[in-house]
Copies of this chain bind each other. A is one copy, B any other.
């Protein structure tokens, strides 16, 4: 295959990735909004923000639903990052609320 033949195919595939990525951004923010709501309820009930047991449940849920090609360890690393960013959002929100 020449570079000239490859170019339009690559363009089309990249456009597909851009669409998928925007869907991922939408879902990440949907997730963050639910996490914020959980944080709000926990503060009202004086419950701890960090719950290792719940994190295990999150990893179990995503690993179970994973059909690949992303391997289990890669998927776990992505969700470790997502959970970490969720904690950062919660901490920022708590500071804003003066908690």
A residues with a Cβ closer than 8 A to B are 1-3, 5-6, 9-10, 13-14, 16-18, 20-38, 41-42, 44-45, 47, 54, 57-58, 61-62, 65-71, 74-75, 77-79, 81-82, 85, 88-89, 92
- Which residues of the partner chain B approach A35 to less than 8 Å between Cβ atoms? 17
The answer to whether B78 and A28 touch across the interface, beta carbons within 8 angstroms, is: yes
Provide a sorted-by-A list of 6 A–B residue pairs whose CB atoms are within 8 angstroms: A6-B42, A6-B47, A21-B62, A24-B28, A32-B69, A78-B82
- Give the nearest-CB partner of A18 in chain B: B61
The answer to whether B30 and A20 touch across the interface, beta carbons within 8 angstroms, is: yes
- Give the nearest-CB partner of A92 in chain B: B71
